[in-house]
Amino acid sequence: MNIADSEEMAAHLLERGYVPTENLDEADLALINTCTVRDHAEHRALSFLGRLRKWKRENPARIIIFAGCAAQRLGEKLKKTFPFLDLVSGAKDIDQFAQLLDKSGLFHAEKAQTPAGQKSVTGYVTIMRGCDFKCSYCIVPSVRGPVQCLPSAEILKNATQKAAQGYSEIVLLGQTVNAWKEDGKTFADLLNDVSAVKGVERVRFVSPHPIFITPDFLKAVENNPKIARHIHLPVQSGSTKVLQEMKRGYTREILLEKLDALKERGFAISTDIIVGFPTETEADFQQTLSLVDRVHFSAAYCFKYSPRQGTPAAEMTLFPEKILEERLDILLNKVKGLAESAYRAQIGKPVQILMESPTKGRTSDNFWAQTCQTYPVGTVVNTEVLSVEDTLLLTRD
């Protein structure tokens, strides 16, 4: 989501004469797009901002913009700690970013620049903003606001433009992306419509919520090979009790049903897990470990619970850091080999590789693969997996 938001903000800077650079020393402007989902993420953004103090002093004409979710949470008070900061633009204001730039008086009419040639095959299309859930640990609803679904006409226009620019993989984005709806239209309909756009070879989506893995969605997937056979589905915990306290809206049993349905349809599943939610007992933690054993995720991102000010869970008593660290270590050890075994399980299977370079690309289930021959970037190659090197499939083509 932040990549897509950054691209959107960068487009307004291109219109004002700026071009991107990898080199801070030659930059005239720094746009920092931030995350606040965990304290660590916010902390990193703020320490980067702190390091820009010297950069700004070297040339006071330089402009610094602090944007995104941490900017939304901390607001204008950031300027007290970082007086050299020029503009603060919260995540909710992304639609008004252009007006904010104009109102600031910092930008003068310059020749609009054309975007640099596309570097990847993946184009991001935001289909909804905000979140209507109230997971008790999560700050996202308060910094991004309630759900606003973008109209399908706008989404299709955006996807068509992206495909025409050569992006053959479209990633649909939203905090609960599969909750997208419009009068009479479901997320499944939207997946079918986007995959029918000329030039689109593959459609992915991030982040889905388990409760919207519906029969309607499963049917769409069965009939449409352009919908990727990989899903990043955050489970957060394997314990019904913790899931209820997290207000996730599903139990372990419902979750397992959904995960099994996805597996039956050939999906590789990656996930997010939070360790050390304040009420997590040893037995709850064991439930999470057993879920990991049972599901064989292709990857699992494990996060130490981070209290976020203003969320209901932040009022609960934390348990000792030592236990938290121990649990995280145990879980990390368990998930360490997941990717390797998921890769090994691909040997002998037919795969469709969307080429990202002449000899390398990703399969529909999101594994990296290397071909013997060369192919045009953005095309799909049908072949079979011959062998595996760590986390790279080698094919028979």
Q: Which residues bind ligand SAH (CB under 6 A)?
A: 37-38, 137-138, 140, 175-176, 207, 209, 234, 236, 272, 274, 303, 305-306, 308
Query: Rounded distance, CA 378 to CA 118, Å?
Result: 12
Q: How many residues bind ligand SF4 (CB under 6 A)?
A: 9
Give the one residue of 9, 131, 228, 342 binding ligand SF4; rule: CB under 6 A: 131
176 binds ligand SF4 (CB under 6 A): yes
Report if residue 371 touches ligand SF4, rule: CB under 6 A.
Answer: no
* Residue span binding ligand SF4 (CB under 6 A) among the ranges 117-125, 137-145, 197-205, 316-324: 137-145
The token pair that represents 239 in the structure block: 């314990």
319 binds ligand SF4 (CB under 6 A): no
Distance in Å, CB of 95 to ligand SF4, minimum: 19
Closer to ligand SF4 at the Cβ: 101 or 138?
A: 138
Residue 190 interacting with ligand SF4 (CB under 6 A): no
Nearer to ligand SF4, 166 or 312 (CB): 312
CB 34 within 8 A of CB 71: yes
Q: Give the dihedral sign, CA 281/284/290/291.
A: negative
Residue 306 partner contact from ligand SAH, ligand SF4, none using kind-dependent CB cut-offs of 5 to 8 Å = ligand SAH
138 binds ligand SF4 (CB under 6 A): yes
- Selection from ligand SF4, ligand SAH, none that 39 binds (CB < 5 to 8 A by kind) is none
For residues 207-246, which are near ligand SF4 according to CB under 6 A?
Answer: 209
Query: What gap in Å lies between CA 237 and CA 285, rounded to an integer?
Result: 8
Q: Coil, strand or helix: which one is 344? A: helix
Helices (DSSP H) in the chain: which residue ranges? 2-15, 39-58, 69-74, 78-81, 97-104, 140-144, 152-164, 187-195, 215-223, 240-246, 252-264, 282-295, 321-336, 338-344
For residue 66, the cross-strand partners are 32, 88
* Interaction partner, residue 182 (ligand SF4, ligand SAH, none; CB < 5-8 Å by kind): none
Q: Could you say which of ligand SF4, ligand SAH, none residue 305 binds, taking C-beta under 5 to 8 angstroms by partner kind?
A: ligand SAH
The binder of 141, among ligand SF4, ligand SAH, none, by C-beta within 5 to 8 A per type, is: ligand SF4
138/163 with CB nearer ligand SF4? 138
Burial 29-62 (b: 16+ CB within 10 A, else e): bbbbbbbbbbeebbeebbeebeebeeebeeeeeb
Residue pair 70/37 in contact by the 8 Å Cβ criterion: no
Asked if 259 touches ligand SF4 (CB under 6 A), the answer is: no
Distance between CA atoms of residues 76 and 243, nearest Å: 35
List residues binding ligand SF4 (CB under 6 A).
131, 133, 135, 138, 140-141, 175-176, 209
